[in-house]
Structure 1
């Protein structure tokens, strides 16, 4: 329940509890909180048993943790035989390497000559959008106005 609380957080909580409730009332507050947690656990356990008894014998293996979407998807992915077959036949690394090789070979290959007709820029002759644009010439820059900004 509290797996992600570190030592510093725990010390901070204890110090705050002592400051808020005082050393005299703190044992009584801890007793009350632990009793409330016990009652909540027993209530949830009895509710789970009631739900299991109402669902019938076909749901005797039903786990409430399976209602968590992450757990449900993980369980379906690991237990489904069709998905295991698909996963074993599909190699993601191989597919990514094939795509990378195809992209790299297109970049290395010369661009085909454009057919005679309307003027369209050939591949590779337009601006390279991945490169950082060079700074414009000083006379082409707009003047900086400190009052306007």
Structure 2
């Protein structure tokens, strides 16, 4: 239905309207609410057109629905945006190339005593402190 309202919710709203306004004034209240919604819609359409005129021809492809936060997140963060998808592919390609170059240039690490399962340091001995690592 409209505004994501189910049929029982609409019936409850209509019943609430009859109780609040009474059967005599309910048609007038509905007409004034419809008039208000038309005015709000006309105002938003005029504001949208004014913004398009002021921005100029370089923003002709601007879609105002894309500025909605839900749409922005869905398109750009969840993978539907083409620009970010292309950027992600470029970054992943660059990272993969760098990783393959580093793997070829750096020799494999030597196994240590800790890798074999035995303790690398005797009991009670402190590991060396590296000031550059912290």
**Normalising by structure 1, what TM-score?**
0.55
Give 1:111 shift. 5.2
Gaps of 5+ in 1: 89-109, 120-149
d(CA) in 2 for partners of 1:114 and 1:71? 54
* 2:10 aligned with 1:6: no
How many residues get paired? 100
Which residue pairs with 1:31 in the alignment? Answer: 31
Runs of 4+ off more than 3 Å: 73-77, 84-88, 110-116
1:1-149 paired onto structure 2 within 5 Å: 2-76=2-76, 77=79, 78-80=81-83, 81-84=86-89, 112-113=118-119, 115-118=121-124
Bigger CA drift: 59-68 or 19-28? 59-68
- Tell me, which stretches of 5 or more residues in structure 2 are unaligned? 94-115, 126-134
Normalized per residue, the structure richer in helix is 2
User: Separation in 1 of the partners of 2:91 and 2:120?
Assistant: 42
